[in-house]
Amino acid sequence: MAKRKSLKTDPCPVARALDAIGERWSLLIVRDAFDGMRRFGEFQKSLGVAKNILADRLHTLVEEGIFTVAPASDGTAYQEYVLTPRGLDLFPVVVGLRQWSEAQLFAPGEAHSTLRQRASDLPVRKMEVLAEDGRILRAGDTVVHKVAPQ
Amino acid sequence: MAKRKSLKTDPCPVARALDAIGERWSLLIVRDAFDGMRRFGEFQKSLGVAKNILADRLHTLVEEGIFTVAPASDGTAYQEYVLTPRGLDLFPVVVGLRQWSEAQLFAPGEAHSTLRQRASDLPVRKMEVLAEDGRILRAGDTVVHKVAPQ
């Protein structure tokens, strides 16, 4: 793989986020973990990705503190990949991607998986950027304050 | 570039989203557009990415309907890349990435750019996945209903 510009110390949080989880497959592994998957073979079967690429992505996600490696919950010799608090905190990002895609990338009536509340089977609310008083904020209602260069 | 498995027709909205905007740099171009950038040279200066890669990503983002190409707003011969409604709808995704990163990838007190309301200079609310009644939903409170295979 070509050497790449690292954004790991970038003062923009969006850039630093994408340095950690912006590789192809990384967020799909996180998605699968939210769906209950824990083992290499489960991720591999779900994603259909080459084993060496999956191993690389899992290694990076562990290094980034998004997954931790744990012994198998059933006492077998397998390793399991478990989301850490840092990984679990990606839930709004994954749901935001889902909702954008549902609204923008599917034809009306086209079948897709849906996210529902476990207890009630109701859908979840559309995620929006909100002011403290609950008003919806569009991009133009906001501004980014940059950090002065060191 | 190696031929890749396309997720463009995947029934999982998260997979389809990442097929459209999951390439390295794509969401950083979108971020820059939210910050007001419109021209190739502006994106190139901001990102420090090779011109051929930037051209490829912009081409894909136009194909995906996230940007449209427009004549320069100042009457010069430049082209401008303008977010479409589909692109503007990515605002919650970019803000979700920012907030995750701010909470998880910066040391306490470490400098980073901040997102504020333009009119009031107040911060924006932390994005959460919510039920219709406003309760915060964790991943474990939800379940994905898969589509039956065709």
Higher local confidence (pLDDT), A28 or B2 = A28
Contacts of A77 (CB under 8 A, 6+ apart): none
Q: For all residues of chain A together, what is the average pLDDT?
A: 93
Burial class (CB in 10 A: 0-12, 13-18, 19+), B141: middle
ipTM for the assembly: 0.94
Whether the pLDDT of residue A77 is over 90: the answer is no
Round to the nearest angstrom and report the end-to-end CA distance of chain B: 31
Tokens of B45: 């200066």
DSSP per position, A40-90: HHHHHHHH---HHHHHHHHHHHHHTTSEEEEE-TTSSS-EEEEE-HHHHTT
Give the DSSP H/E element, type plus range, for residue A17: helix A13-21
Chain A nearest C-alpha distance from B23 (Å): 7
Chain A contacts of B147, Cβ < 8 Å? 111-113
For chains A and B, count residue pairs whose Cβ atoms are closer than 8 Å: 224
What's residue A74's pLDDT? Answer: 87
What's residue A62's pLDDT? Answer: 98
Look up the pTM and report it: 0.94
CA B89 to chain centre: 9
d(CA B60, CA B75): 26
Question: Chunked in runs of 10, what are the mean pLDDT values of chain B (150 residues)?
Answer: 71 96 95 96 96 97 97 89 98 98 96 96 97 95 84
A55 contacts chain B (CB < 8 A) = no
Higher local confidence (pLDDT), B149 or A100 = A100
Which SS3 state, helix, strand or coil, does residue B81 take?
Answer: strand
